[in-house]
């Protein structure tokens, strides 16, 4: 009786599928795995655009064969050609115009009505005007440029050789501003030596009319002044801005003095020992 109860308990507590085989899915073949990685619509093959096909022997042979076939056609085999009448020509023109143009007519027009040629930009009138408005030979222009640089170097040396590079540039900037303003002579030498022939201390820059020898005595300072004058003149000649002080600055004085005219102008900058004004 006890043995029967134990047998019933063992059967009740045992797993219902203890003796059933588990069926696992078969491994996925590699071909199927690769196929599943492709896009949903499958691979897309885009044909090469015309003219981008690789030049192969087969393509070249096909082209040669096609050309030979076209050139071997005898148009006379199609029978006698109809006479070219005005009606036929007008119909041909009408059909061609519907497509946006007619190559035959365009070719004819190119001979009967050639495109106008552009007129030369250099004419005798333009040359005459150029000569009359200040033409100078190369040698003369080189001489003028050297003179302008020399004048500017003298002004930088005598007016600001004790200043920093920025201070010297600011003084040169005022000279350029004056030459461009229309209120002073249009050249750098003209600005620097304006009224120098009117007597002592009647000029715009003291060194130009103080009666002293202007020969530079400090070699290193003079070399720096010449180098800066070369750079500034290049900017002046090409119309570029100097940028050390505003383009409106036309006057300056040292911080050691206070001239009466300083009250009538607007103070626009102060660099080192110079104060700059605009009218």
Which residue, 147, 157, 161, 159, is CA-closest to 251? 159
Taking the C-alpha atoms of residue 145 and residue 37, their distance in angstroms, rounded to an integer, is 76
Q: Which of 42-56, 114-128, 164-178 has the highest mean pLDDT?
A: 164-178
pLDDT digits (tens, 9 = 90+) for 21-68: 666 667 777 877 777 776 655 555 666 666 676 777 877 788 778 777
Instruction: Enter the pTM of the model.
Output: 0.54
CA distances from 219 to 157, 161, 164, 226 (A): 10, 11, 17, 11
The answer for residues whose C-beta is within 8 angstroms of residue 1's C-beta and 6 or more apart is none
Q: Is the predicted pLDDT of residue 188 greater than 80, yes or no? A: yes
SS3 247: coil
Q: What is the 3-state secondary structure (H, E, C) of 170-231?
A: HHHHHHHHHHHHCCCCCCHHHHHCCCHHHCCCCCCCHHHCCCCCCCCCCHHHHHHHHHHHHH
Q: Is the predicted pLDDT of residue 187 greater than 70, yes or no? A: yes
Predicted local confidence at residue 254, as pLDDT = 94
- Between 62 and 5, the higher pLDDT residue: 62
pLDDT digits (tens, 9 = 90+) for 225-274: 999 999 999 999 999 999 999 999 999 999 999 999 999 999 999 999 99
Beta carbons of 221 and 141 less than 8 angstroms apart = no
Beta carbons of 153 and 229 less than 8 angstroms apart = yes
Find how far residue 4's CA is from the centre of its chain: 104
pLDDT digits (tens, 9 = 90+) for 71-89: 776 655 556 666 767 776 6
Taking the C-alpha atoms of residue 168 and residue 156, their distance in angstroms, rounded to an integer, is 6
Q: Is the predicted pLDDT of residue 164 greater than 70, yes or no? A: yes
């Amino acid at each position: 009786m006890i043995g029967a109860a134990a047998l019933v308990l063992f059967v009740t507590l045992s797993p219902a599928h203890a003796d059933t085989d588990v069926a696992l899915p078969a491994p996925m073949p590699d071909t199927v795995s690769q196929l599943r990685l492709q896009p949903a619509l499958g691979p897309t093959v885009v044909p090469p655009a015309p003219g981008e096909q690789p030049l192969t022997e087969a393509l070249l042979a096909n082209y040669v064969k096609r050309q030979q076939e076209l050139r071997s056609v005898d148009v006379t085999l199609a029978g006698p050609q109809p006479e070219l009448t005005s009606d036929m020509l007008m119909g041909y023109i009408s059909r061609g115009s519907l497509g946006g143009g007619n190559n035959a007519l365009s070719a004819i027009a190119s001979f009967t009505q050639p495109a106008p040629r552009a007129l030369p930009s250099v004419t005798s009138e333009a040359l005459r005007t150029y000569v009359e408005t200040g033409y100078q030979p190369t040698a003369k222009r080189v001489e003028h440029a050297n003179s302008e640089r020399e004048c500017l170097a003298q002004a930088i040396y005598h007016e600001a050789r004790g200043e920093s590079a920025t201070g010297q540039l600011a003084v040169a900037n005022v000279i350029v501003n004056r030459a461009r303003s229309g209120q002073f002579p249009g050249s750098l030498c003209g600005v620097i030596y304006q009224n120098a022939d009117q007597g002592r201390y009647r000029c715009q820059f003291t060194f130009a009319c103080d009666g002293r020898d202007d020969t530079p005595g400090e070699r290193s300072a003079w070399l720096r002044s010449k180098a800066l004058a070369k750079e500034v003149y290049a900017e002046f000649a090409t119309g570029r801005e100097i940028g050390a002080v505003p383009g409106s600055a036309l006057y300056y004085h040292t911080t050691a003095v206070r001239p009466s005219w300083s009250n009538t102008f607007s103070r626009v900058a102060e660099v080192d020992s110079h104060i700059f004004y605009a009218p």
